């Protein structure tokens, strides 16, 4: 039986724990004594504890993140009740910034802050040889990237077929955006390019076709970016799906030429705009050329097939409801396929926390620590923005309302969708578990009763979109008695044909 278990709880089954694979790859002579187990946050803590104990380990290492800290706390609590002799080691971003630590650390035997590829195996050796350290908190030791063993062989065949394959061509970030933990990095460091591409070749030959790059700034070093794109261009690009996080104001001509060669459906760019407000950008130490950002997003939409997933953050210090709306309207005008409306969260250790008192940033004490109110946005309005974000995912980002959305938004996208969101919530009292057919019915009501869009116009665009949904049945507002005129003629013709057929 393994003496060491490394584990975490993923947000969804489709996710894989990339950090655990790095740990496992770098366990050295202890690797044969180590097992890697993954669970999901939807699983019952007592069942997770039972499966961990079935391994009869002496050490359990758990990766703690903002999305799983509550569930891991429950698991560790059970483990310490029934098997207190097992050494519990915690690592990950949620426990890496003392003294700002979650309550679960009180139950743990050790905490490794920062990177763990060197320090976790070393701690395990010391525990197993009776030389366990006295101090509870251990500062993670960073190794040169060239000294790290590759994690990629430890993706299973099932991972490659069914789950997201995470890869990284570099670590760190040179930018200092205060809402992000990467602002604590000194700079970005690349992995050796030839070795990285050999790993990608190995994954491709094993069947991997979806690659999600976790580099904070994929297009920081354009030479490397172009080389990586050139590598994938030699493959069957119509089978590939490549996800990159890019900075929006750095798109030189060489990179544009490479991007243009990829067919539809193969490239997704996550573009962190966050805000177009120069005062907020300066306040949070974000360097972004807004003119270049707008020009590059416009170019990507007009001249490439890349799918653009653009991010905005609501609740940044000094932002207002109206100010956020201006950034949203600016981004809508650039027509990215998706706009992710994120609500500011308090990350332990993030420099943004220095603004907490001046801007009266008040965060939920429960993970994921979303902002509740600020000096400039009330609790009530932030609740509205939370619902706005959810309904925008259902309507704006789903791709199901392509004909309806332009009619709905008209020339005031933020103001009108906020009205629409308020109306939808007033009708449902919920932002979850809304069946698609009912969503169409609710959308029709909100369009006609709140946005005052003519009924025939609303029916026309919603029917176009509903017909593409392949849903059975029709929403009530598209029934025979309320169909648009064109459809009434069609229905009348069908009735006449049925009548003739029965004579």
Q: What is the rounded distance in angstroms from the CA atom of residue 324 to the CA atom of residue 307?
A: 23
pLDDT digits (tens, 9 = 90+) for 139-195: 999 999 999 999 999 999 999 999 999 999 999 888 888 998 887 877 789 999 999
- Tokens encoding 320: 């207002």
CA 107 to chain centre: 29
Average pLDDT of span 104-108: 96
Q: Are residues 61 and 100 in the same domain?
A: yes
237 pLDDT band, cuts 50/70/90, is: confident
Model confidence at 487: pLDDT above 80: no
Q: Looking at 256-352, which runs of residues are DSSP E strands? A: 267-274, 307-314, 338-343
Average pLDDT value for residue range 321-350: 97
Alpha carbons within 13 angstroms on the beta-carbon side of residue 501 total 6
Mean pLDDT of 387-408: 97
Could you tell me how far CA 268 lies from the centroid of its own chain?
A: 13
pLDDT of residue 480: 57
- Determine, yes or no, domain membership for 327: yes
What pLDDT is stored for residue 93 in this prediction?
95
CA dihedral for 264, 412, 443, 479, sign (positive or negative): negative
Identify the domain boundary among 377, 411, 432.
377
- Identify the weakest region by mean pLDDT among 216-220, 328-332, 498-502: 498-502
The answer to the question of residue 264 being in a domain is: yes
The residue range of the domain holding 94 is: 4-145
What is the mean predicted confidence (pLDDT) over 258-267?
A: 96
The reported pLDDT for the residue numbered 230 is 96
> pLDDT tens digit string along 7-37?
999 999 999 999 999 999 999 999 999 999 9
- 389 occurs within a structural domain: no
Q: What is the mean pLDDT of the chain?
A: 93
Chain-centre distance of CA 133, in angstroms?
37
Q: Domain holding 280: CATH number?
A: 3.80.30.20
- Same-domain status, 302 and 368: yes
Instruction: Check whether the bond before 368 is cis (ω within 30° of 0).
Output: yes
- Shared domain check, 307 and 429: no
User: What 3-state class would DSSP assign to 453?
Assistant: coil
Cα–Cα distance for residue pair 145/192, rounded to 1 Å: 8
Tell which of 315, 343, 377 closes a domain.
Answer: 377
Q: Do the domain assignments include residue 254?
A: yes
255 falls in which pLDDT band (50, 70, 90)? very high
Q: Is the dihedral of CA 393, 397, 399, 401 positive or negative?
A: positive
Please tell me what DSSP assigns to residue 345: B
Assess whether pLDDT exceeds 90 at residue 484.
Answer: no
- What is the spatial distance between Cα 278 and Cα 314, in angstroms, rounded to a whole number? 15
pLDDT at 495: 38
> In this structure, are 323 and 184 located in the same domain?
yes
Q: Is the domain of 485 the same as that of 451?
A: yes
Q: Residue 490: how many CB atoms within 10 A of its CB?
A: 12
391 domain-assigned: no
Residue range 457-470: mean pLDDT, rounded? 95
Across 55-64, average pLDDT: 98
Residue 296 has pLDDT above 90, yes or no: yes
Stretch among 88-97, 181-190, 320-329, 344-353 having the lowest mean pLDDT: 181-190
What is the per-residue pLDDT for 134? 95
- pLDDT range class, residue 492, cuts 50, 70, 90: very low
- Any domain includes 388: no
**DSSP tag of 202:** H
Give mean pLDDT, residues 460-469: 95
Q: Which residues of 266-296 are buried (b: 16+ CB within 10 A; e: fewer)?
A: bbbbbbbbbbbbeebbebbebebebeebbeb
Per-residue pLDDT, averaged over 119-124, amounts to 98
Please report whether residue 165 resides in a domain.
Answer: yes
Nearest to 322 by CA among 280, 370, 361: 280
Q: Is residue 408 part of a domain?
A: yes
User: What is the total count of domains within the chain?
Assistant: 3
Please report, for residues 219, 307, 452, 456, the alpha-carbon distance to residue 244 in angstroms, rounded to integers and kept in the order given.
9, 11, 40, 42
Confidence of residue 481 (pLDDT cuts 50, 70, 90): low
Same domain for 435 and 372: no
Residue 329 scores a pLDDT above 90:
yes
Q: Looking at the structure, tell me whether residues 210 and 352 fall in a common domain.
A: yes
Residue 399: Cβ-neighbour burial (10 angstroms; 0-12, 13-18, 19+): exposed
**Mean of pLDDT values over 116-130:** 97
Contact 431/391 with Cβ under 8 angstroms? yes
The CATH number given to whatever domain includes residue 35 is: 3.40.50.280
Give the E-state strand segments of 84-195 in sequence order: 87-91, 110-113, 137-139, 166-167, 170-172, 188-190
Q: What percent of the chain shows pLDDT beyond 70?
A: 95
Enumerate residues 6+ apart whose C-beta is below 8 A from 166.
16, 18, 212, 213, 214
112 and 176 both lie in a single domain? no
Whether residues 234 and 105 share a domain: the answer is no
Q: Are residues 405 and 482 in the same domain?
A: yes
For residues 238-261, give the mean pLDDT. 94
Yes or no: say if 88 and 124 are a contact pair by the CB < 8 Å rule: no
Q: Check whether 282 has a pLDDT greater than 90.
A: yes
One domain, residues 247 and 283: yes
pLDDT of residue 306: 97
Q: Tell me, yes or no, whether 162 and 138 share the same domain.
A: no
Domain boundary pick from 377, 410, 440: 377
Q: Quick one: tokens of 107?
A: 């139950």
Checking if the pLDDT of 342 tops 70, the result is yes
223 — pLDDT class (breaks 50, 70, 90): very high
3-state secondary structure of 258: helix
């Amino acid at each position: 039986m393994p003496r060491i278990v490394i584990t975490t709880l993923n947000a969804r089954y489709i996710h894989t724990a990339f950090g655990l694979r790095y740990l496992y790859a770098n366990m050295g002579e202890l690797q044969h004594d180590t097992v890697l187990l993954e669970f999901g946050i939807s699983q019952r803590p007592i069942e997770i504890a039972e499966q961990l104990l079935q391994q009869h380990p002496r050490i359990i290492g758990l990766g703690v993140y903002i999305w799983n800290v509550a569930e891991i706390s429950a698991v560790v609590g059970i483990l310490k009740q029934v098997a207190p002799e097992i050494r519990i080691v915690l690592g990950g971003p949620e426990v890496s910034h003392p003294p700002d630590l979650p309550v679960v650390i009180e139950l743990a035997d050790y905490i490794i802050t920062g990177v763990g590829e060197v320090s976790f195996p070393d701690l395990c050796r010391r525990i197993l040889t009776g030389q366990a350290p006295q101090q509870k908190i251990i500062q993670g030791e960073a190794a040169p990237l060239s000294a790290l063993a590759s994690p990629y062989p430890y993706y299973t065949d099932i991972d490659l077929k069914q789950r997201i394959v995470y890869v990284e061509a570099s670590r760190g970030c040179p930018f200092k955006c205060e809402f992000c933990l990467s602002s604590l990095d000194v700079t970005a460091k690349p992995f050796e390019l030839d070795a990285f591409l050999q790993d990608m070749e190995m994954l491709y030959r094993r069947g991997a076709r979806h690659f999600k790059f976790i580099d904070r700034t994929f297009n920081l070093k354009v030479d490397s970016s172009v080389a990586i794109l050139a590598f994938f261009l030699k493959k069957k690009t119509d089978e590939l799906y490549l996800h990159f996080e890019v900075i929006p104001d750095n798109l030189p001509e060489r990179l544009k030429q490479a991007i243009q060669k990829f067919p539809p459906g193969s490239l997704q760019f996550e573009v962190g705009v966050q805000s177009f407000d120069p005062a907020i950008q300066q306040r949070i130490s974000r360097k972004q050329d807004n003119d270049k950002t707008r020009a590059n997003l416009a170019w990507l939409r007009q001249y490439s097939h890349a799918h653009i997933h653009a991010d905005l953050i609501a609740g940044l210090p000094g932002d207002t409801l109206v100010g956020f709306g201006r950034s949203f309207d600016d981004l809508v005008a650039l027509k990215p396929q998706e706009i992710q409306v994120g609500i500011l969260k308090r990350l332990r250790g993030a420099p943004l926390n220095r603004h907490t008192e001046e801007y009266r940033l008040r965060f939920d004490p429960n993970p994921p620590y979303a902002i509740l109110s600020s000096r400039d946005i009330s609790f009530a309005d932030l609740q509205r923005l939370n619902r706005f974000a959810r309904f925008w995912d259902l309507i704006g980002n789903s791709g199901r309302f392509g004909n309806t959305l332009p009619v709905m938004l008209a020339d005031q996208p933020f103001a009108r969708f906020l009205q629409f969101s308020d109306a939808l919530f007033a009708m449902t009292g919920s932002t979850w578990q809304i069946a698609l057919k009912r969503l169409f019915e609710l959308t029709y009501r909100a369009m006609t009763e709140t946005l005052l869009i003519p009924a025939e116009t609303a029916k026309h665009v919603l029917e176009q979109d509903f017909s593409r949904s392949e849903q059975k049945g029709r929403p009530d507002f598209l029934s025979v008695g309320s169909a648009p005129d064109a459809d009434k003629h069609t229905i009348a013709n069908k009735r006449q044909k049925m009548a003739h057929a029965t004579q």
